[in-house]
Structure 1
Amino acid sequence: MKPDFFSIAHHEMRGMLTVIRESISIVLGGTTGPINEQQSHFLDMAEKNVDEMTRLISNVFILQRLTSGKREFDMQEHDMNKVVEGVRTRMVSSAERKGLDLTLELDGDLPAAVFDKIMIGQVITNIVSNAVEFTEKGSIRIITSHKHGVVEVSVRDTGCGINERELSKLDRRLEHSGEGVHIKDSDTGLGLAVSKEIIARHKGKIWAESEPGKGSTFHFALPIK
């Protein structure tokens, strides 16, 4: 079987970034000795950029697999609350670096739904990552709910918000054509493109609500069955 270059490259790059991040965390934690405020600041910046690079690599890999038709979705019944909790565990340090609270509001009666756990986890990670980037103070809340045969996940932030014109442009960032997916913008646009493609293939819906000065809420909904 011919080696899959993208899979090998993805695995190798993520492995190297994991080692770099763990090394930074060890130094930040004081295990190697005391560090001053300036050193801590630059290490925080390095850790943040490693996290962003890891997400960027994951999004590029996923989009390549989706557009090439090589990615088969592993559709099984899962508890969305557990997926959300896992994302919070991975993202809480990024929020805390900016002094933000990352909280959960989980539906205790949420029914199981059929979806690809890894892909939907990436969607939630992308949305939370954008919320952290564009929120300077306050909090980010991940909310789960269900109604009318769908499971819904919402990410609400207290950021600067998006005006009506920009919100309309946001909804058009992903264009479908016979040749696949065309991406506009940078990392934020890539994460949105990947997320919308994943949700579309789950026969779901993704949308945003926002008001300047009052923050934004990104939602997606998936059919329960």
Structure 2
Amino acid sequence: MAAHQMTLDSGAWHGELTAQKTDGSEFTVQVSANLVRDKHGKPVCLMASLVDITESRRLHDILDHKQKNLEAIFDAAPLGMLLVNEQRRVVRANDAVRQISGKGYREILNQHPCQALACAHATPELETDGHRAACEACSLQNLVEATFESGSPVHGDETQPAWNRNGEEVRPWFSVSIEPVDIDGDRHILIALHDVTHRKEAEGRLRETMEMKSQFVSTVSHELRTPLTAMKEAVTIVAEGIAGKLNKDQTRFLDIALRNIERLGRLIDDVLDFQRLSAGKMQFHMQSHHIDKTIDEACSTMQPQVRQKQLHLSVDVEPDLPAIVYDHDRMIQALTNLLSNAIKFTPEDGRIVLSARARGESLAISVSDTGMGIPPEALPRIFTQFYRVHRPGKEIKGTGLGLAIVNKIIIAHGGRIDVVSELNQGTTFTVLLPLTPAQPSKDMSQQAGTCPESASRGGIQT
């Protein structure tokens, strides 16, 4: 009745009404009503058009509800989020941005993102498109421009912008992700900022701690070598009878002391080598060599241990293998470590084979034994420093550094090490080195630490 009266009073009325169907259900109609008058201006009738908008109203309510939910999620997100238009102006920001910047929404909206976040390089005179020499040093500005220019997203780029906080410059760390967004045909970008300052600081402290540990181990190891050398010389002099005649018991005890001094010396050498390899400070003198000579030297070095344990060591090298580039001394170290492992874990009368073959673009050097084998659950950790395979009732002494050192040496040569093992049947370690043409003899220092991290673990098969 109110709509009818308003039409009579004003001559027209437009609006929405809720009506009822014959079955009692309600529906919404959009009404346009006009008062028709005759030539004398007297009302003659009312003309009205009615459109059922129940379904469109329902869809509108659903979309409005979803929009409010999305806005609530955007505002409640723990990451700082800014929606930026093509003019490089912030059109929306959430509460996390306000907390990060220390600004209110009025100071954030319609500003360049660098201004909104109080970047130390941003000034009020920024151009409309955000370009200004003062911003060239801003890492966030460069990411924003790169995304607008390429249309490609940025994911997890860690940056340390310089921001102005109460007149002081601070440099927090942020993980930045930027996603291009099209809204009603207009280009926008969505910037997500995750404050990772605490993590980066913790990583820095961890690096410092690891460096201190490395320096401590290195210093202690070096300090131990001097008295150890003196002890070895003194014991050797006495053991050789230079200081006087010895009886059998004295000779036996001195032999035990000498063996343990040498064992301690090897342990110190292993620790120092591992520290240098891990820190990337090991110098590699890369020259062209023939692998058969290196293999012969490694076998000759280990022959006394082979004979002492009554094992059978054989060599199988493919003829006419090309020379390859490697550090001869470090390769001897790697091969003797592998042979030492095979000797320790192979029972008396067992067999060890050291072989070399061309395999595609690589040279494959294998050390196979008929020893105890490695349990499948231990294989993923055998190249980890200080790890030793647990063998109840069959524990064998070792430092747990041998294979870790071999792995790092081989990685430093651009190669990898694989292992195949069967419990109580034997193990085969295979070193794969790049098979490249011989190079003129030339010393090259190469840092072990420059090797790709992805190659830090050898291949494992069971």
TM-score bucket (shorter structure): 0.7 to 0.9
SS in 2 for 1:104: strand
Q: Matches of 1:87 and 1:25 in 2, distance apart?
A: 28
Q: Give the CA deviation at 1:120.
A: 1.3
Q: Deviation string for 1:196-223 (max 9, x for gaps)?
A: 1111111101011111121111111110
The residue number in structure 1 matching 2:356 is 144
Q: State the superposition RMSD in angstroms.
A: 3.5
The residue number in structure 2 matching 1:179 is none
Q: Matches of 1:196 and 1:221 in 2, distance apart?
A: 11
Q: Matches of 1:42 and 1:205 in 2, distance apart?
A: 42
Structure 1 pair 34–218 and aligned structure 2 pair: CA distance change class (3 A): farther
For the pair 1:77 / 2:288, whether they are aligned, the reply is yes
For the pair 1:135 / 2:346, whether they are aligned, the reply is yes
Which residues in structure 2 correspond to 1:66-215 (within 5 Å)?
Answer: 66-137=277-348, 138-170=350-382, 173-174=383-384, 183-185=385-387, 187-215=398-426
Q: Give the CA deviation at 1:115.
A: 0.8
One-letter code aligned to 1:218: F
Q: Matches of 2:235 and 2:323 in 1, distance apart?
A: 34
Identity rate, percent: 31
Q: Give the CA deviation at 1:126.
A: 1.0
SS in 1 for 2:401: helix
SS in 2 for 1:153: strand
Q: Matches of 1:204 and 1:221 in 2, distance apart?
A: 5
Q: Give the CA deviation at 1:148.
A: 1.1
Structure 1 pair 154–14 and aligned structure 2 pair: CA distance change class (3 A): farther
Q: Which has the larger radius of gyration?
A: 2
Q: Matches of 2:365 and 2:239 in 1, distance apart?
A: 31
SS in 2 for 1:189: coil
Contact 1:6 1:61 in 2 (8 A): no
Q: Give the CA deviation at 1:102.
A: 2.0
Which structure shows the bigger proportion of residues in helix conformation? 1
Which structure shows the bigger proportion of residues in strand conformation? 2
Structure 1 pair 70–221 and aligned structure 2 pair: CA distance change class (3 A): same
SS in 2 for 1:122: helix
Q: Deviation string for 1:29-71 (max 9, x for gaps)?
A: xxx99979xx78995x667656644543332221222233332
SS in 2 for 1:109: coil
Contact 2:306 2:313 in 1 (8 A): yes
Q: Deviation string for 1:146-165 (max 9, x for gaps)?
A: 12121111111111112322
Which residues in structure 2 correspond to 1:45-84 (within 5 Å)?
Answer: 49=260, 52-84=263-295
Contact 2:317 2:356 in 1 (8 A): yes
Q: Deviation string for 1:15-41 (max 9, x for gaps)?
A: 6698699889979xxxx99979xx789
SS in 2 for 1:207: strand
Structure 1 pair 35–215 and aligned structure 2 pair: CA distance change class (3 A): farther
One-letter code aligned to 1:157: D
The residue number in structure 1 matching 2:50 is none
One-letter code aligned to 2:379: L
Structure 1 pair 78–20 and aligned structure 2 pair: CA distance change class (3 A): farther
Contact 1:123 1:195 in 2 (8 A): yes
Which structure has the higher relative contact order (CA within 8 Å, separation 6+)?
1
Q: Give the CA deviation at 1:72.
A: 2.1
Q: Matches of 1:111 and 1:125 in 2, distance apart?
A: 22
Q: Give the CA deviation at 1:9.
A: 5.9
For normalisation by structure 2, the TM-score amounts to: 0.38
Contact 1:160 1:212 in 2 (8 A): yes
SS in 2 for 1:184: coil
Structure 1: 4+ residue segments shifted above 3 A: 4-27, 32-36, 39-43, 45-55
One-letter code aligned to 2:411: A
Contact 2:316 2:353 in 1 (8 A): yes
Q: Deviation string for 1:146-205 (max 9, x for gaps)?
A: 1212111111111111232222332xx43xxxxxxxx23264521111111111111101
Structure 1 pair 190–8 and aligned structure 2 pair: CA distance change class (3 A): closer
One-letter code aligned to 2:292: N
Contact 2:225 2:265 in 1 (8 A): no
Q: Matches of 1:132 and 1:209 in 2, distance apart?
A: 17
Q: Give the CA deviation at 1:11.
A: 7.4
Q: Matches of 2:342 and 2:238 in 1, distance apart?
A: 24
